[in-house]
Structure 1
Amino acid sequence: MFHGNVSLEIAEGLKTLRKRIEAAKIPPSKLDETLNIATWNIREFGKKRRTQAAIHYIAEILGQFDLIGVVELRDNLSDLQRVLPILGPYWDVVYSDAVRDQGGNYERICYLFDTRAVVFNGLAAEPSPPRSKRGSEYLTDQSWWRSPYLASFKSGNFDFLAFTTHVRWGDTEAARLKEIESLAAWIGAKTKEKTAEDKDIIVMGDFNIPTRDSPMLKALLECGLKIPTALAKDEFGSNLARDKRYDQMLHFTQFTESFTNAGGVLDFYAGDHRPLFPADTYPDMDKDAFTYQLSDHLPLWMQINTDIDGQVLDALIQRKRQG
């Protein structure tokens, strides 16, 4: 991390933040063995210029992981460009275009990644709802308010697709469910493609799913996705109150051993924003204002195994024996 010659206030805030990060018990990743992946909705990131303290805190949080799917990156990339030099020269980014209307909220999706641990594998695309021919045109029946973003990555011997989305909140849960069902159908079809770039898919983002027993989550599971064990065992939330799991991480994989039993939420808020933004320096910084400096969402993360040589050989042997 390259924080440089920061002010005393930011240095003290970073020390407090690091204690909160330690409480998350994120295991270190190992080159060519494990990879730490996170999804984080950074509230309206780029809409309004953040304080220098917030930029350093965001960089410190992002730097705990190897690959992060970021939601709510806005059309203005200037704050992202302030974060990257703090992360270091070995970090890279790939991002989608902004959806320039109120439904899309002028948002992008981006992947930030540490190139020492994971490399971009060539594919970056915005999936679209399936179309059918009507007369001489090909049209879709379903609207995704914000296009998901799909990208391919490789870490060690593990090739995978990352699929990140920000599902509409909308006026009704029925409309949100319809969008999620359509996304799930697209993901399910992708896993069955004979020429798919890879069969291992990490699906993540802000799905605005209200509860774990919601039909919205059921729709994702019915397409073949699974919740990693580490994220399924506890009913913890990814909002600041820790009582809602709008954010999700799921996977479709050929090798179930790829997913370790490590995962959780990084709680940078810990019930009090003042140690990061002292009242004498930020007198107007209430909790709501704090969410526009860091976020109203906490990063959700998991660790995967990337050393899968043994599993690949086992699969090869099984195929050879069967014919």
Structure 2
Amino acid sequence: MWYNDIRPDKDLKNDRYSLIMLDSRKNHFKRLLTDEDKKRTIENLIRLKEGLVEKVPAKKVDDNLLLCSWNIKNFGEIKNRTAESLYYIAEIINAFDIVALQEVNKDISEFKKVLKLLGSHWKHTLSDVTEGSSGNNERFGFMYDSRRVTHSGLSGELVISPEMMNENPIIRQLKRTPSFTGFESGWQKFSIVSLHLHPGEGGNGDGPSDKEIRKEEVKLLMKIMKKKMSKMSFEDRNMIILGDTNIYKEDEDIVELIADKGFVECGGLKGKYTNTSQSEIYDRIFLKVQDYFKIGTDAAGNELGDVFHLFDYVYKNEPSEIKKYHKLMLKHKGNPSTLTSDAKFKTYFNRYWKRDQMSDHLPVWLEIKTNSSVNFLKNTLKKF
């Protein structure tokens, strides 16, 4: 991680340190962090780092790989997201090896800032923006630690061909075109499909309901996945589907469409709420993999995967913490005259401020075992 911007000004010398958190040219590259901001950021980073060490497995050379999926709310579109928050986003990403990002918007300036904070060994892929109002100017991104994992060279988008559709299709393409990317680490070679399905639970007048649209998206996705996997070489068939599925608790019939094609949800994530309100299981990871591809397990044999509850460490729902952001909330709120009491600040902080700074979704992750040599040798020995 690159922490120069949170050094005291007296430590900064023009010929020694470069800075990342600077405003635009039209604002004369003004510094984005005051001394007050720096101290608060450092205190929270220490707490966040301790939480990540406690909740996320350590990275082990030649043994494991940590995969994360995170919908960062309107990443690049929210204009009051602070430099402080970008530090927290980068610190969370840094705890993993591959992070699939949803809701990356057309403007990638914040995406680039986070990459610079992570350091030059962090690489990325980005899909094109899905055009049209339904695509919401969104794209998919991956950030990955090139010391631990490499991009296999496979990269593209999943587009539905006309031949795959019904005679009177509900939809012709997925609302946001999913990305399809290959990676390699140790013994493992695998591909990841990152998706963001149609949201909502309501009806749409005479048209199909939100759930019907989402279900049709999954049906089309499974069709194209079946076709692609049948043409892949054996070693490429480790397939992971992840992202913001917008699948609600009552949408188990949609989950079954995925399970029927042989995809299994990570046991460590199954049934765990992933939105900030802790009410829905939107963000999921499904796998269809070969025998030597294993998810890490704990001493009891439970698969290692979980939701990282970032608001236990930053933007905490405590009066003393909320008070630290009063001035910033007044500065960024459209009508600051409505913030007239601690109770009003608290409501705005929890409903809008912290979600705009970080996200309304929490990161989900799992551990992949990258060394299958023992299982391979044991199985090979049995053949003699």
**TM-score, with structure 2 as normaliser:** 0.75
Structure 2 matches for 1:131-150, cutoff 5 A? 131-132=162-163, 142-150=172-180
> Match for 2:316: what amino acid?
D
- Greater CA drift, 166-175 or 219-228: 166-175
1:250 aligns with 2:286: yes
Q: Identify unmatched segments of 5+ residues in structure 1.
A: none
Provide closer, same or farther for how the CA distance between residues 267 and 314 of structure 1 changes in structure 2, counting only shifts above 3 A: same
| Equivalent-residue separation in structure 1 for 2:250 and 2:3 (angstroms) | 39
In the alignment, which residue of structure 1 is the partner of 2:110?
A: 79
Residues 222-237 of structure 1 correspond to what in structure 2 (within 5 A)? 222-232=260-270, 235-237=271-273
Which one of the candidate residues 345, 357, 364 is aligned to 1:300? 364
* 1:109-258 aligned within 5 A: 109-132=140-163, 142-169=172-199, 171=204, 172-195=210-233, 198-211=236-249, 214-232=252-270, 235-255=271-291, 258=294
Match of 1:58 in 2: 89
- Other-structure match for 2:137: 106
Query: Identity over aligned residues, as a percent?
Result: 26
Shift of 1:257: 5.3
Report how far residue 131 of structure 1 moved: 3.1
Q: How large is the Cα RMSD of the aligned pairs? A: 2.6
Higher helix share: 2
Higher-RCO chain (CA-CA 8 Å, sequence separation at least 6): 1
Q: Report how far residue 164 of structure 1 moved.
A: 0.5
Structure 2 letter corresponding to 1:302: L
Kept in 2, the 8 Å contact 1:132–1:140? The answer is: no
Report what 1:262 is aligned to: 304
Please report how far the alpha carbon of residue 216 of structure 1 lies from its aligned counterpart in structure 2 after TM superposition: 1.2
Distance 1:315 1:188, change over 3 A: farther
Partner residue, 1:36: 66
**Partner AA of 1:186 in structure 2:** I
Q: 1:89 is matched with which residue?
A: 120
Q: How far does the alpha carbon of each residue in 1:43-75 deviate from its partner, in whole angstroms, 9 at most, with x for none?
A: 000013421101101101111100011000001
Q: 1:163 to 1:276 in 2, by over 3 A?
A: farther
- Cα deviations by residue, 1:213-249 (Å, 9 ceiling, x for unpaired): 62111111111100122223xx321111223110110
| Rg comparison, structure with higher value | 2
Contact 1:208/1:246 (CA < 8 Å) preserved in 2?
Answer: yes
2:316 to 253, 272, 290: 272
How far residue 315 of structure 1 moved from its aligned partner, in angstroms, is: 6.3
Name the SS for the 1:103 alignment partner: helix
Q: 1:228 to 1:277 in 2, by over 3 A?
A: farther
Q: TM-score, structure 1 length as denominator? A: 0.88
Give the drift of 1:111.
Answer: 0.7
Counterparts of 1:93 and 1:70, CA distance in 2: 10
Q: Shift of the alpha carbon at 1:90? A: 0.5
> 1:276 and 1:193, CA in 2 relative to 1: closer, same or farther beyond 3 A?
farther
- Counterpart AA for 2:57: P
Count of aligned residue pairs for this structure pair: 313
Flag the 1:313–1:214 CA change in 2: closer, same or farther, 3 A. same
Query: Residue deviations 1:24-47, cap 9 Å, x none?
Result: x21112122100000000000001
